[in-house]
Structure 1
Amino acid sequence: MAPNIVTPPVGSCGLVSDHPEFSPDFRARLRDALREARYDADGVVDALGGAAHAALGRGEPELAFRASRDAGALGVLIRLFLLGSTESERAVAGALPLDGALEAGLVRRVSDGIRAALDLRPHGDENTSWWVLSDLDSDVLGGPVPEDHVLGVGHASLSLIRATSRRPVGSLLDLGTGNGVQALHASRHADRITATDISERALALAKATFELNEVEVELARGEWFAPVARRRFDQIVCNPPFVVGPPRVDYVYRDSGLAGDDASALVVRQLPSFLNEGGVGQLLASWLHVRGEDWADRVHRWLPAGTDAWFVQRDVADPGLYVGTWLRDAGLDPKSPEGRAKAGAWLDWFAENDVEGIGFGFVTLRRTGGTPTVVCEDLRQAFDDPLGAEAAGWLDRVDWLRDHHAELLETRFTVPETVVLERVDNATDEGWQTAIRRLHRTDGPGWQHELDELATALLAGCRGALPLADLLELLAFGHGQDAEELTEAALPVVRELVRHGMLLPVDKDTGR
């Protein structure tokens, strides 16, 4: 089936002729050439080998240059698009349809051969490989990127991909699609995809990406949610321009023109109204850590009524480190006059607004008709499992707690096999004495909870045989505690452990 792409209206922020346009004939010939050369995620790794591929990811290209020498057409494509080298016209013509590539603006002639004019690289998951088009980065350009630069698949994009739940949905909105990579992944689990962006160039590159990969997407141009006014979706993903600081736009892909963290606040406030009942939104966001204010209170104020929300803070950056990182990201030398001037204005704004740090993380939102659950928590440790599956499980567990809030004491619980208890003992005159009891979940994001002696004993009894009320009564009797007071103290701990998947209810019918 041919891609169903709705071309965005031409605006006044750029000339259509400046943007790539892949004809149907060229798309087909290019697709065939890329497939024949095995220029896909697995083919590149196979050609380079693990060591060279890993080195390339670290910004060390020499091993990849050496490994690509004997890789034929695939080696030419690797050097041209992944290594930024100049290749002979004859070599490039043997690897892809050169005439069409020149006309489409994919490559360009230079004095000694052919160079890439756009970034075209394989990207994939465990089942599928796609090609993603974007602009060349600052390292290849040799200087700062232009204002309408379309970013490639960077760390932020990859983190959102891993943090997005992949349950089947009917409709999905990719808000601020950029190069379109979020929509590519959405094509695996969404029946209908709509992608929007304010940038004409981003939509042109996303359109070419979707058509090259034969993925059906509806495209619409406009600011924030304006292109989809009065519409609702089952799922929304968003990688917004979340860089915080003065209200200016140096680069469209990262700057919103709004002051501070207002861009993230805007998306969080407005997104739930574009969801169907029970629909889920997932986005990257930044928030300010302001002197005298708790960051959780700040983001809580962004939320509209009727919204479950899970804010996961993955990092907090010092203002100076934050500014230097984003200057280098755009190809600006922080030591240059321009770099110092921009850094100075940025740091002045932070100081004037009492900003002590910048938080960054993931937000999961769900439109609900029940009593909303809002949780803000830190998750700064490294973990391997994608957060998307955990987010879906978190929402399921929130649903269970909401539906069974009056039945907790009658529920039988069990500790899953993936949860272990760590003890840290200190040597005393009487022997070893436990100082720390820490519960670890060994899968997912690796949640940890410190427990006291009574909580540890309670969990030891959670084997699915007795309801929670009976366990608490036995625990109170055995430790000389008041049963009502112990129950009142235990229920919040039980709810938190259930939310984190460290304590699971046992099905009354199956016993599992």
Structure 2
Amino acid sequence: MADDLSPEYCSALRTCFERVGYDADGVLSLLGASAHAALGRGEPEPARRVTRDGAGLGTLIRLFLLGDELPENEVKAVLPWPESVANGVVRVDGDRVRAGLDVRPYGDDQGSWWVFADLDSDQLGSTVPVDHVLGVGHASLSLARATIRRPVGTVLDLGTGCGVQALHASRHARKITATDLSGRALMLANATFRINDLDVETRQGKWFEPVTGRRFDQVVCNPPFVVGPSRVDYTYRDSGLAGDDASALVIAALPEYLARGGVGQLLASWLHLPGQDWPERVTSWLPGGVDAWFVQRDVADPDLYVGTWLRDAGIDPRSAEGAARASAWLDWFAENKVAGVGFGFVTLRRTDGEPRIVCEDLRHAFDDPLGQEAAGWLDRIDWLRAHSSPDALLRAHLKVADSVVLEEVSSPADEGWEAVVRRLHRTDGPGWQHEIDELVRALLAGCRGLLPLGDLLELLAAAHGVPTDALIVAALPLVDELVRHGMLVPA
């Protein structure tokens, strides 16, 4: 394989793809919704049947997306030849051709790109090598959906892999820098950038070393966050650091590379240990001067965690190799008394104000991209910081957000129905929920933006015969939380 895929070759390949319509929309159009969905489930036969008469586009789908072996003449009619062989994009065996790289369309709501990556274990028919470069996987998609998309000057994609996060950054950043420890990852990322005609600065090196002394408006990072012994089986997921030290390193170091007001976002993992709450653990990694939002999306027990990551690399846990690796990994978990592994998203912002640090468990399913919520969260804590004194908050005019509904569950009582559960639901974003009592229900009923919060609390205290000062002390922390969750908004 060539050390690098040249700009000339990438341009020629792009021309071939555009000629036959090998992009996200073209693939969906040819396959149709049913076969496309089946392919996403790992069921290739419906797509294979549809593409038999699909001309050049069908050839590329069978070659790159289905992993089929095709006649050489059929592939030569579509791809630049013999350059595609010389560059390792395809492999030739006699008069038959297979894909040598994973080259596939990938799109967002604004258009389509192409991404270069290595073949996975299913395509290879074996385990992946140590320097395997992962394609567009679940983790990278999750980070892309969790990233704030506001116009910025500079973005750093730390640990770019095949370049997915940098592609998304091209929609909202003027200048992008992408780094990786792996030379192979940067080779494929450069191919991804070239075929999409993107000007991205790439630098090779460990962690933040390639950008020492620089600062960015935004940093995104999908680090090698897999938790376990200090070893490197696969560079895309293993850092060589033990436990959750890789996540701790990035979280501690990242703010130094942010411009004032800059935002960093990353995936991270953390250990759940006896006698230590996970928020205590992750917040201990933070430097000063940083707003931080930790969102825990899942917690896996060690047995499930090890099995999942073995299969990710194409290793059968039932095989001798799988059993040996699982045993060593589980021994490490046992020796370190690990009860579980948390996983989630971290949003950091460099601030000159009093930092706001929040850890939240968000393990229920939701559909809206978390990036919009992260942007809103930062805006809301800015507002709360500006109203941090009780007097300022009591003067504020607030209203219940339009997306909030109240659910009440009642049981039979002597005088009819008696409410036993009152629950606020935000019907958009992450779907936050809050159980409330009758006093809070009455307070929120009055939050229409007409009266300041202090006046509403005075009226409520008088109506229910409770001391105003005590009601204010009880209400303000709840109001703060409802504002942070976008359930109460400034009028």
The TM-score range, normalised by the shorter chain, is: over 0.9
Identity of aligned residues (%): 67
Residue type at the aligned position of 1:147:
V
What residue in structure 2 maps to residue 14 of structure 1? none
Q: By how many angstroms is 1:201 displaced?
A: 0.3
What residue in structure 1 maps to residue 436 of structure 2? 451
CA offset digits 1:235-267 (Å, max 9, x no partner): 000000000011110000000000100000000
What residue in structure 2 maps to residue 87 of structure 1? 70
Which residue among 5, 9, 32 is the counterpart of 1:49?
32
C-alpha contact (below 8 Å) 1:20/1:106 kept by paired residues: no
What residue in structure 1 maps to residue 156 of structure 2? 173
Worse overlay, 445-454 or 359-368? 445-454
Q: TM-score, normalised by structure 1?
A: 0.94
CA offset digits 1:65-113 (Å, max 9, x no partner): 1111121100000000000001111111122113111111100102451
What residue in structure 2 maps to residue 10 of structure 1? none
- How is 1:36-435 mapped onto 2 (pairs within 5 angstroms)? 36-406=19-389, 407-435=392-420
CA offset digits 1:219-242 (Å, max 9, x no partner): 100000000000000000000000
C-alpha contact (below 8 Å) 1:82/1:121 kept by paired residues: yes
Distance of 1:374 and 1:446 partners within structure 2: 21
C-alpha contact (below 8 Å) 1:146/1:251 kept by paired residues: yes
Q: By how many angstroms is 1:428 displaced?
A: 3.0
- Unaligned 5+ segments in structure 2 are none
CA offset digits 1:338-390 (Å, max 9, x no partner): 11111111111111111111000000000000000000001111111111111
Distance of 1:145 and 1:26 partners within structure 2: 26
Distance of 2:203 and 2:129 partners within structure 1: 23
Distance of 1:95 and 1:474 partners within structure 2: 75
CA offset digits 1:122-150 (Å, max 9, x no partner): 00100121000000000111121000000
What residue in structure 2 maps to residue 4 of structure 1? none
C-alpha contact (below 8 Å) 2:2/2:86 kept by paired residues: no
Give 3-state SS (helix, strand or coil) of 2:344's partner. Answer: strand
Residue type at the aligned position of 1:332:
I
- Unaligned 5+ segments in structure 1 are 1-17, 507-512
Distance of 1:356 and 1:19 partners within structure 2: 46
Q: TM-score, normalised by structure 2?
A: 0.98
Q: By how many angstroms is 1:20 displaced?
A: 4.8
Give 3-state SS (helix, strand or coil) of 1:69's partner. Answer: helix
Distance of 2:78 and 2:417 partners within structure 1: 69
What residue in structure 1 maps to residue 450 of structure 2? 465
Give 3-state SS (helix, strand or coil) of 1:471's partner. Answer: helix
CA offset digits 1:160-196 (Å, max 9, x no partner): 0000001000000000000001001101101010000
Aligned residue pairs: how many? Answer: 489
CA offset digits 1:311-334 (Å, max 9, x no partner): 000000111000000000000010
C-alpha contact (below 8 Å) 1:19/1:201 kept by paired residues: no
Which residue among 459, 482, 485 is the counterpart of 1:497?
482
C-alpha contact (below 8 Å) 1:163/1:387 kept by paired residues: yes
Distance of 2:82 and 2:275 partners within structure 1: 61
What residue in structure 2 maps to residue 478 of structure 1? 463
Give 3-state SS (helix, strand or coil) of 1:121's partner. Answer: strand
Distance of 1:196 and 1:96 partners within structure 2: 30
C-alpha contact (below 8 Å) 1:20/1:205 kept by paired residues: no
Query: Do structure 1's residue 25 and structure 2's residue 37 form an aligned pair?
Result: no
C-alpha contact (below 8 Å) 1:20/1:105 kept by paired residues: no
Give 3-state SS (helix, strand or coil) of 2:82's partner. Answer: helix
Distance of 1:91 and 1:264 partners within structure 2: 47
Alpha-carbon RMSD across the aligned residues, in angstroms, is 0.9
CA offset digits 1:254-301 (Å, max 9, x no partner): 000001000000000000000001000000000011011100000010
Q: By how many angstroms is 1:442 displaced?
A: 0.7
Residue type at the aligned position of 1:269:
A
